[in-house]
Amino acid sequence: MDEFEVCIAGAGACGLFGAVALASGGIRVCVLEKESSIGGFGVVEIEPEIRSVLCRFGLSRFFEDSKNVRGKVVLQRRLIEALLEAAYGAGVEIRFDAEVVDVEGFIITYGNKRSLHAPYLVGADGSESFVRRRVFETRGCVFDTLASSPGTYCVVDKTPPVKTTQRRGTWTLGPSGLVRLGFFLRPNESAPEGVAAYSLKCRVASMIALDDKAFLIGDAAHSFGSNPSVNHGIRSALNLAWKLYYAIRFEKTAPLATFEPEMRRRALSLAAARGASSWVWGKQRGRTAGLKLFGATPGAGTLFPEPYVVEENATTRHVLGRDLPMFSFHVVGLGVDPQTTITIFQTAKLLELGFRFSTVLLAGDDHHLTSHDDLSHVYHEVETTDILRQWRRRYQNPDVVVVRPDLYVFAGVKVPDLHDLLDALLTLLHQPSFGLEEEEEDVFPAARTRTRTAAGTDSLCCMSTASSSSSCI
């Protein structure tokens, strides 16, 4: 029987990108696609963040070849073809005419009774996902009404003829201020007169992260309202990929426990179900989860800027972070050496887990480091837009930023706090899983899918709900 470390069901954009990401880290991946060839239709608008992610994984030529000058709008089939080529190049095993028909333990059966063994299964097999087997039906009704003013959400001139208090539902903003409101009907409840009830499928949340062994990404994870975009699916795939990498390569499973709650926070305007309940994230300038260890840590959950830099004693410029191993935490000192305040023992532990250290001298600064550790790379920012300085000023001027493998900020701190922060992060990574405790204020009101036993154990869940292009996920 063939042995793989991860099996992905579905060779769409999400599944193929997840395979490329994992294989780039040396993970043995098999993709099973039920059709005889790839699909994909229509066009997709690639957000700048996702373009950066795709370029990081070897798809820069795809955007260079695009007829669209900025490479923003592309044919979805062409994107999938480029991902398929990248997957083959990364050594991914792809099997067509291979629909998953059974999953028992770690044995995955597909096609004509063929089987393979993989300890992790990722369902990326679309809205009719077989992997998402546990599905229940919920009845609901829809109302169209006008918003009180353009750009104002969920405040309507005419109140829908159903109670909205404690009632699950969603809204969709249409043209000319039209708002479509959808509400779930309670058991044995009828739709109001003149409104048709309909049935819709909601995913069972336990299948989004089942025992930290089976996961859903992309359209397989959501079947209420509008389907998640390719951009959202690629974010989810990268989020899962680096956490699977840490579980497989370092036997650190704690990050996997954060996949489901982070996925919920990212699913802006999409329904997320758990058992008999669900939650819809509205458009809000939200709370950032941040690190509870240090209060509301500035910048946590935002996408870290990617300025052009030149390494010291070099001449070729490149994008900061692109030269890092695919799944490394990046400890970035902004004008300071991040290793000056941490111990040799702590440094050794971090290096064992693939951490990398860098110092960036911001554009316009004429100072230079008097000394630095040989393990730290020193870069000079050559960006004329001062994006690093602007980001730093916006988030209370941290001296050091810890960036996750998916390029989102884990925390930004002053130099004296760095040692304690890294100790806390090491503690989190070494925990077997996250447990459960109640708090007065729940930072994850819809994402409490598991309980916690230690203060700060949600710290890896630092995705923001702020509605900006970089952090509104």
366 exposed, middle or buried (CB, 10 Å; 0-12, 13-18, 19+)?
exposed
pLDDT, one tens digit per residue, over 109-130 is: 877 778 899 999 998 887 767 6
Q: What is the pLDDT of residue 270?
A: 41
Return the minimum-mean-pLDDT range out of 3-7, 130-134, 168-172, 269-273.
Answer: 269-273
* Alpha-carbon span 334 to 336, nearest angstrom: 5
pLDDT, one tens digit per residue, over 296-351 is: 466 777 788 888 888 877 778 878 877 677 788 999 998 888 888 888 889 899 99
Q: What is the pLDDT of residue 168?
A: 57
Cβ-contact 150, 177 below 8 angstroms: yes
**pLDDT tier, 62 (very low <50, low <70, confident <90, very high otherwise):** confident
Q: Is a pLDDT exceeding 60 seen at residue 444?
A: no
Q: Which domains does the chain have, with CATH numbers?
A: 2-133+204-249 (3.50.50.60), 135-202 (no CATH), 286-473 (3.40.30.10)
* Alpha-carbon span 222 to 129, nearest angstrom: 10
- For residue 324, the number of C-alpha atoms closer than 13 Å in the C-beta half-sphere is 25
Q: What is the pLDDT of residue 145?
A: 56
Share of the chain above pLDDT 70, in %: 59
pTM across the whole model:
0.70
pLDDT, one tens digit per residue, over 130-162 is: 676 533 245 555 555 555 544 433 333 333 444
pLDDT, one tens digit per residue, over 169-194 is: 555 555 555 666 666 666 677 766 66
Q: What is the pLDDT of residue 289?
A: 31
The type of residue at 36 is S
Q: What is the pLDDT of residue 386?
A: 77
What average pLDDT does this structure show over 203-217? 63
Contacts of 151 (CB under 8 A, 6+ apart): none
